[in-house]
A and B are shown apart, each in its own frame.
Chain A
Amino acid sequence: MKLFKQTLLAAAIAFSTAGAWADEVQVAVASNFTKPLEAIAEKFKAASGHELKISAGATGKLYAQIANGAPFEVFLSADSKTPTKLIEDKLATADSQFTYAFGKLVLWSSTDGYVDANGEVLSKGDFKHLAIANPKTAPYGAAGMAVMEKLGLTAAITPKLVTGENITQTFDFVSTGNAELGFVALSQVQQDGKLKSGSAWVVPAEMYQPLAQDAVLLTKGKDNAAAQTLLDYLQGAEARAIISSYGYDLPETTPETQ
């Protein structure tokens, strides 16, 4: 019995010390930022020893999950509205909100030469399906709708719209060729500053509301030091280099830390 107690104690100590220098952070991330976050997670683990547990989804869905008690500690949203709402709802820590990236919208096709450099393919309307993320829940979807509105093409294109439940599914519709083209995030089709495949029109930023993507510390993570470390790390040079290589614009200054 004594031996048992000693083993138990030893195990408890081992666990708690292991916990002290290698914590886990549960991160909810908007689908468009999944790839960069995976790259960041690797570097972050090397730098801090902490591991990220990543759950990706549409911003609106993640909000609903957080509001209903999901165990996420950090939220990387695809907009700035949702983190603000989380703070108002007392589900996130006040003052923890900051912009980690500005998203860029791109009209993309998996076929080479299909989308021209000025996006005139849109007004020609020579396609059967245009994929877009659900504008009610995904900011990139709303941005795509704004672009069509601006071009006066909403009525013409609406019957051809197919809606992905998030930006990843939208990307899948286009990459499998089921939709000839679609509005996706530049981060999904670009790596190291180059288009990975197909053809694309990077939509001029003045055609839609800036896609400021904000991060926030959720109430569930306020006692997890590793969560705060991650938020600081996201504003540091190493993370910023990764974010920019995926085709995001960076915020001018990094508030809080500097």
Chain B
Amino acid sequence: MLSPSDWSAIWLTVKLAGLTTLILLVIGTPLAWHLARTRRWWKAPLSAVVALPIVLPPTVIGFYLLITLGPKGPIGQLTDSLGWGTLPFSFTGLLVASVFYSLPFVVQPIQNAFETLDMRLMEAASTLRATPLDAFFSVAIPMARPGFLTASILGFAHTVGEFGVVLMIGGNIPDKTRVVSVQIYDHVEAMEYAQAHWLAGGMVVFSFIVLLLMYTLNRGIRMPKI
């Protein structure tokens, strides 16, 4: 069955995925709104940057994070001079990496929802003397609810499924950076196949339930018709 170190890896993974999703909802929402509404020249390059993690191999991301976040890299020197130390081999480092790695999976569904939003509703809200921010929170966000649901589920699930980046910058430290995917890899390498099965099988079931939840809930929610 599951050992204490397996449970520790599971808890760490849930914590990492949960925090990553939360941070991404906070920074991803304004970003998605901007991308959905802007007609400026930077829309295409910005969209491309957001989508990069979808096409880049995790090894590329891991390699550059290891170099730039390390003590010889620009970001590493910055964090070090601020007294935070360097980020690789730390939970914070994984969090930073995951936020970047899962960014498109949160931004894109929200952006899609914002793009299909009927702007006349926002105008109606402002004729009722709602400030733009007010209208955003009481009209745009509730109407984009399916987008937010998809974004949260994909952001969470994608972070849980992260492996290559964590392997390259995590250093496999128990309770700090040894997440489930790395733990499974360790079990397989050490030929502890029975333990690998418990975790790997659990991941299959988890992923299926998450996706099932997403498709079921999203079918249940209907965009209000005008």
Contact = CB atoms under 8 A, between A and B. Distances in A.
Interface residues of A, number: 24
Contact of A176 (B66, B172, B190, B191): B66
Majority secondary structure, B binding face: loop
A78 to B, nearest CB: 14
A64 B188 contact: yes
A112 to B, nearest CB: 14
Nearest to B66: A176
Interface residues of B, number: 22
Contacts of B189: 58, 60-61, 64, 134, 136-137, 165
A41 interface: no
A64 B172 CA distance: 20
Contacts of B86: 178
A63 B85 CA distance: 38
A42 interface: no
Contacts of B66: 172, 176, 178
A179 interface: yes
B86 to A, nearest CB: 7
B70 interface: yes
A206 to B, nearest CB: 28
Interface string B54-98: 000000000000110111100000000000011011000000000
Contacts of A64: 188-189, 191
Contact of A136 (B85, B173, B186): B186
B100 interface: no
Contacts of A63: 191
Given A129-B89, A178-B71, A173 B171 contact: yes
B33 interface: no
Given A176-B72, A178-B66, A178-B88, A162 B173 contact: yes
A128 interface: yes
A177 B172 contact: no
Interface string A56-74: 0010110110010000000
A251 B185 CA distance: 34
B167 interface: yes
A124 to B, nearest CB: 19
A128 B171 contact: no
Nearest to A162: B171
A26 interface: no
13 contacts: A60-B190, A63-B191, A64-B189, A134-B172, A137-B190, A162-B89, A162-B171, A162-B173, A165-B172, A165-B185, A176-B67, A177-B72, A179-B89
Given A162-B89, A165-B167, 14 more contacts: A61-B189, A64-B189, A128-B85, A131-B171, A134-B186, A136-B186, A137-B189, A162-B173, A165-B172, A172-B66, A176-B67, A177-B71, A177-B72, A178-B169
